[in-house]
A = this chain, B = another copy of it.
């Protein structure tokens, strides 16, 4: 083994660098949005080079697509009350920590059309699943309101940092949970 302990094999090195770039990209896209985040800034934060970022990810748009993929929620099924519980649990997660990738997508959504489509697709898909299991002829509308409420809460807490929403996730759920249950059952 001629290799020093600080060195690594090429594939390891490549993976590490790509990972560092992706992490930096998520953080910066999430903090400043798509347009205000430059390839140069990402490269600097990752301790790398703009040219390398381009070679590894092809373009700024492709890098964003990889960095800002929205993690899908689990499947939705069961009775309205069970669905309410699943939605509430998912919301608790979203309120608890700040998923950098989703934040990047959310922040970019309003200035970068592709990101808007990403968010739209994620919300529409979930909404359809939910609506299919709800009673009442306004099920689609009610599930849409659930989506809007969720979106508003996440944005208000993580992006706007609205006063009053900086409570613990449990306190928030104590207030919002009943609303969601009401929306699912249609009372």
Contacts and interface: CB of A to CB of B under 8 A. Distances in A.
Minimum-distance CB pairs A-B, first 4: A152-B152, A144-B164, A33-B111, A148-B156
B107 A111 contact: yes
A32 interface: yes
B162 A147 contact: yes
A41 interface: no
Interface residues of A, number: 51
A55 B108 CA distance: 31
Interface of A: 32-36, 106-111, 116, 119-120, 123-124, 127, 131, 138, 140-145, 147-153, 155-157, 159-165, 167, 171-172, 175-176, 178-179, 182-183
Given A120-B162, A148-B152, A152-B156, 9 more contacts: A35-B36, A110-B111, A119-B160, A127-B164, A138-B175, A141-B164, A151-B152, A178-B182, A179-B182
A163 B140 contact: yes
A155 B162 contact: no
Given A152-B151, A152-B152, A163-B127, A32 B111 contact: yes
Nearest to A163: B124
Contacts of A164: 127, 131, 140-141, 143-144, 147
A80 to B, nearest CB: 15
A162 B127 contact: yes
A3 to B, nearest CB: 45
